[in-house]
Chains A and B, each alone.
Chain A
Amino acid sequence: QKEVEQNSGPLSVPEGAIASLNCTYSDRGSQSFFWYRQYSGKSPELIMSIYSNGDKEDGRFTAQLNKASQYVSLLIRDSQPSDSATYLCAVPSGAGSYQLTFGKGTKLSVIP
């Protein structure tokens, strides 16, 4: 059973700070990793994908991948109240699989 683990939170950060969200996965063969944002009452929205070790930056978001340690993280710089949401980490269930396994999500609250 492939597993994806996230701290459920809530994670509270002040406006303007850096929010750090972490995710660990069990399948060493995983090749792609996704971060989704889900606002309350809405569906998940893909915000970042990462396939190689290292960092990938997109605006205020940075995804970091360390395959040796089997973790992927998401940094949100200059956090805004509009970033308050649940962040879901997703990993394909095995090499070549089209089935995504999601973590339970981390609820982020950005305090004005």
Chain B
Amino acid sequence: KAGVTQTPRYLIKTRGQQVTLSCSPISGHRSVSWYQQTPGQGLQFLFEYFSETQRNKGNFPGRFSGRQFSNSRSEMNVSTLELGDSALYLCASSLQGADGYTFGSGTRLTVV
């Protein structure tokens, strides 16, 4: 079966711009989580959605937002980009959220 699909794979943006990343979960999975991965901080939780509702949110500024659609696809948005937002952004899906997550290939965001 198809895995978790993230688009785009790579992005280069300028400081101050905004960006939208997309994630299509495994068919039937209703829980979608987003993580930021950097060499210094490791994997850090951004937010988790289930049936279009945000159930958990990590300690990130309000510039980071997300949403989930009725077909479980999810998007995350980062506004007013900063150099420190350069990272690998990973989306992961799960049937319900308590049974482990399958990660997508990620979107590598570079802010210049």
A interface with B by C-beta (< 8 Å): 32, 34, 36, 42-46, 49, 88, 92-93, 96-105
Contacts of A103 in B (CB 8 A): 42
Whole-angstrom CA separation of A63 from B56 in the bound complex: 27
Query: Secondary structure at chain A's binding surface: helix, strand, loop or mixed?
Result: loop
CA distance A109 to B102 in the complex (A): 24
Which single member of A49, A88, A93, A104 contacts B100 (CB below 8 Å)? Answer: A49
CB-nearest residue of chain B to A92 = B98
- A88 / chain B contacts, CB cutoff of 8 Å: 42-43
Chain A residues closer than 8 Å to B31, beta-carbon distance: 98
The total number of A-B Cβ pairs within 8 Å is 53
Q: What CA separation (Å) do A98 and B96 show in the bound complex?
A: 9
- Please determine whether B98 and A98 come into contact, CB atoms closer than 8 angstroms: yes
Q: Which of A34, A99, A104 meets B33, CB within 8 Å?
A: A99
CA distance A44 to B90 in the complex (A): 9
Q: A15 → chain B, closest Cβ, in Å?
A: 28
Q: Tell me which residues across on chain A come within 8 A of B48, comparing CB atoms.
A: 98-99
Instruction: Indicate if the CB atoms of B100 and A99 lie closer than 8 Å.
Output: no
Which of A49, A97, A103 is most buried by chain B, counting CB atoms within 10 A of its CB?
A97
Q: Which of A43, A93, A102 contacts B104 (CB 8 A)?
A: A43
CB closest chain-B residue, reference A35: B100
Within 8 Å by CB of B45, from A36, A42, A96, A99, lies: A99
The closest CB in chain A to the CB of B102 belongs to: A46
Known: A32-B98, A43-B105, A46-B103. 16 other contacts (CB 8 A): A43-B103, A44-B90, A46-B101, A46-B102, A88-B43, A92-B98, A93-B45, A97-B56, A98-B56, A98-B97, A98-B98, A99-B45, A99-B56, A100-B45, A100-B101, A102-B43
Chain B min CB distance to A49 (Å) = 5
Within 8 A of A (CB), among B69-105: 88, 90, 94, 97-105
Q: B106 within 8 Å of A by Cβ? A: yes
Q: Choose from A44, A49, A93 the contact partner of B103 (Cβ within 8 Å).
A: A44
At the interface, yes or no: B64 with Cβ under 8 Å from chain A?
Answer: no
> When the two chains form the complex, which single residue of B97, B99, B106 contacts A49, counting CB atoms closer than 8 Å?
B99
